[in-house]
Chains A and B, each alone.
Chain A
Amino acid sequence: MAEILNQKQNFLKGIVKENPIFVMLLGMCPTLGVTSSAFNGLGMGVATMFVLIMSNLVVSLVKNQIPAKVRIPAFIIIIASFVTIVEMILEAFVPFLYEQLGIFIPLIVVNCIILGRAEAFASKNNVISSIIDAIGMGLGFVLALTVLGAVREILGSGSLFGFKFVSEDASTFILFILPPGAFIALAYLTVLFNKITSKTT
């Protein structure tokens, strides 16, 4: 029973208590770079989550075979392989999203969430816990990016997931589509998130 409870905690911590974006403030580069619309945020989040799950799985499987001194290069090779696979699959089957995300897909390799989870969690825990941890962290990342993308899209282009709800000529806060808007929106969302979660926990 305690085991199951622990796994639930393990899963939820990535979404709430240790949310990679709003609490740990990790992986800011893709977070600020691609979230100009909710769809882009979601796409980037899902791609990162896939890499995170796969790398956590493999790292926890091979952790005992890798000498400690070369573990970081070994993790990076594992992560980079999965990122390249994601890139090739996106280019082949979702060219629209591939074009939108552009340089940020190969940059998933250096996303510190992934290496961070591999080093801090997957290299010390068993396969099941590692996957649950990755799913939790990945979902936290997806949620954060989608919410940030949605806020920026609503304010900046007056639409959500591509559906416009203001007239064609309406002037929107273009600032929120531009890079400075990413910082502003992220800051307010972080405040809001921490305000809410500090009350409940």
Chain B
Amino acid sequence: MSKKESTFFGMLVSLLVITLISGLALGYVNDLTIGPKAKAKLEQKVNALKLVLPTFDNNPVEDKKLVKSDKVTDSVEVYPAYLNNEFVGAALVGTTDKGFSGLVRIMIGFKPSGEIENVVVLEQKETPGLGTKMKEEKFIQQFRGININTFNLKVKKDGGDVDALTGATISSRAFCDATQMAYDEFIRNNGSLIESKN
């Protein structure tokens, strides 16, 4: 087998050519996938919004508002929903880093009265088979239709009304924590949301 001599010049040129070609190839593929990537991300968001909000006819992603909050370093995303120019609810992204493995992000849809329409888990790294059950219907259904004013948003172990997941109390607490955060922000901004469209 004829291997090339390892001269300094030869090594330089061959590595340069390889990096050049791979750089060009990567740039090309990046150009190809940048559109579908953004679309996939948007679709995911829109699907989540459709799940958590009542019927709406505006584009909540376009009407998105960022609200500053003193509880989180980042601002909170608020997606208002309107039907025939009337405010029918808003979806908020609630975050907490108190999950068993850090960050938990959930999207919660509220009716104007403050009642929870639905909840969707966007991002979590909880223990598979235990904490990940927070995504399942069985856990989420207990939050549907509740008003946090009259509902004690704490797990039963802490004297609240929430049935915690078996073996995943910390994940359940994190879920409640994120919900509470979203609710507080919703109440704080409820007035301005109703006005904004009119």
Partner-B contacts on A (CB < 8 A): 36, 62, 64-70, 73-74, 77-78, 80-81, 84-85, 88-89, 91-93, 95, 124, 156-157, 168, 172, 174, 177-178
CB pair B11 A92 closer than 8 Å:
no
CB-CB nearest in chain A for B37: A92
Question: Measured between alpha carbons, how far is A85 from B21 in the docked complex, in Å?
Answer: 13
- How many A-B contacts are there with CB distance less than 8 Å? 80
**Is B2 interfacial (CB 8 A cutoff)?**
yes
CB pair B40 A91 closer than 8 Å:
yes
CB pair A93 B36 closer than 8 Å:
yes
CB pair B29 A89 closer than 8 Å:
yes
A-B contact pairs, 9 of them (CB 8 A): A64-B2, A65-B14, A78-B18, A85-B29, A91-B37, A92-B36, A92-B37, A168-B138, A178-B127
Question: Measured between alpha carbons, how far is A31 from B3 in the docked complex, in Å?
Answer: 35
CB pair A93 B29 closer than 8 Å:
no
CB pair A91 B33 closer than 8 Å:
yes
CB pair A36 B128 closer than 8 Å:
yes
Given A64-B2, A124-B1, A172-B129, CB of A77 within 8 Å of CB of B37: no
B residues less than 8 Å from A174 (CB atoms): 129-130, 167
Question: Measured between alpha carbons, how far is A93 from B3 in the docked complex, in Å?
Answer: 40
Question: Measured between alpha carbons, how far is A78 from B22 in the docked complex, in Å?
Answer: 7
Given A67-B6, A67-B7, A91-B40, CB of A81 within 8 Å of CB of B22: yes
CB pair B14 A81 closer than 8 Å:
no
CB-CB nearest in chain B for A73: B15
**Is B5 interfacial (CB 8 A cutoff)?**
yes
How big is the B interface, by class?
20 to 34
Partner-A contacts on B (CB < 8 A): 1-7, 10-11, 14-15, 18-19, 22, 25-26, 29-30, 33, 36-37, 40-41, 44, 127-130, 138, 167
B residues less than 8 Å from A78 (CB atoms): 18, 22
CB-CB nearest in chain A for B138: A168
CB-CB nearest in chain B for A90: B33
Given contacts A66-B4, A172-B129, 4 further A-B contacts (CB under 8 A): A70-B14, A77-B22, A78-B22, A92-B37
Question: Measured between alpha carbons, how far is A178 from B7 in the docked complex, in Å?
Answer: 51
